[in-house]
Amino acid sequence: KKTMGDERANDVFLAKVAEQAERYDDMVKFMTKLVHRGGELSVEERNLLSVAYKNVVGARRASWRVLHSFSKSKEEGFDKQRELVDEYRRTVEGEIDTICEEILSLLGDILLKNSQDDPEASVFYLKMMGDYLRYLAEVTEKEKRKQS
Average pLDDT, 10 consecutive residues per value, the chain (148 residues):
83 98 98 95 98 97 93 76 91 97 97 95 98 95 59
pLDDT value, residue 48: 98
Q: Which of 110, 107, 113, 100 is nearest to 126 (CA)?
A: 107
- Report the interhelical angle of 119-139 vs 79-105 (nearest 10°): 160
pLDDT value, residue 71: 81
Residues 31, 45: Cα–Cα separation, whole Å? 8
Q: Which of 37, 97, 32 is nearest to 64 (CA)?
A: 97
Residue 96 and residue 131 in contact, taking contact as beta carbons nearer than 8 Å: no
Cα-based distances in Å from 148 to 23, 29, 50, 97: 34, 29, 26, 14
Count the Cβ atoms, other than its own, within 10 Å of residue 25.
12
- Interior angle at CA 105, CA 119 and CA 41, nearest 5: 40
Residues 10, 78: Cα–Cα separation, whole Å? 51
Residue 56 and residue 96 in contact, taking contact as beta carbons nearer than 8 Å: no
pTM (2 d.p.)? 0.89
pLDDT value, residue 75: 73
